[in-house]
Amino acid sequence: MSGGDGKKPIKPLIERKQAFAERQAARGRGVFAGQKPDGVGPPNRHGMPKLPVGQYAVEKWPVLDLGDEPHIAKEAWRLEVDGLVEAPHVYTWDEFMALPQTEDTSDFHCVTSWSRMDNRWIGVRFADIAARARPFPEARHVLITAYDIAPETDIAYTTNLAIDEAMQPDVLLVHTWEGAPLPIEHGGPVRMITPQLYAWKGAKWIRRITFSAEDRPGYWEVRGYSNTAYPWFNDRYSR
């Protein structure tokens, strides 16, 4: 909470930045510490071979989903940001589009073994949304919830990732792909992309971001898929 003079205390902000720096430093010391990333091609911005092990490049963008393709009008779309944050918020489309917009080019790696390279995106950095929400230091994980529902169930698509992965500068909530509005079948009006992880970690039709202290496995994670999803270590399934 801020003091009576309206200024925010400095110490919590410093602690948050220090905690984030420590998580970034520890990022390479997970279950694959000591293993060499595998793939072919020149190194990408993450220092990994451009095409990960077990992947092949495609020109067209295949469509994969749970069988539910929600059509959400922009005026009805909302993005809720909640959980362990100082400033929860529900963004309308206009508010989302008023946030700083980032243009980027990155690769997209599907766990089913195909990769589409050099996609041109426009969207909002996850890190910029987090900066406005101001997560508490104990918020080490993120759960993403989508608008789509698994057929014949009431189960919404979810996926989870560590906050340090979500905060990578090329993790975006995108609304534009290759110069045009993101197609519905690929998650429009807005989806999340995670270039350093398998693509299911970036939900189509995103509607909610929840910051938490606990790691809460998502839809595919509880069905046997990897919790970490690192393409260059063939990290497709739970170990």
User: What's the CA gap between 218 and 225, in Å, rounded?
Assistant: 10
| pTM of the predicted protein model | 0.86
pLDDT in tens, 10-33: 344 445 444 444 443 344 445 677
> In the numeric block, which tokens belong to residue 23?
């998580």
Q: Tell me the pLDDT tens digit for each residue of 208-232.
A: 999 999 999 999 999 999 999 999 9
Q: Which two tokens stand for residue 80?
A: 């809720």
pLDDT reported for residue 25 = 38
Q: Does pLDDT of 135 surpass 60?
A: yes
Structure tokens at 77: 């779309």
Q: Is the predicted pLDDT of residue 190 greater than 80, yes or no?
A: yes
Question: Could you give the CA distance from residue 131 to residue 135 in angstroms, rounded to a whole number?
Answer: 8
Q: How many helices (H) and strands (E) does the chain have?
A: 4, 13
Domains of the chain in sequence order: 10-233 (3.90.420.10)
> 208: helix, coil or strand?
strand
Q: What is the DSSP string of 167-202?
A: TSTT-EEEEEETTEEPPGGGTTT-EEE-TTS-GGGS
User: What is the C-alpha to C-alpha distance for residues 106 and 44, in angstroms, rounded to an integer?
Assistant: 9
Report the relative pairing of strands 114-125 and 56-58 from DSSP bridges. parallel
The enclosing H or E element of 166 equals helix 163-166
Task: Using a pLDDT cut of 70, give the percent of the chain over it.
Answer: 87
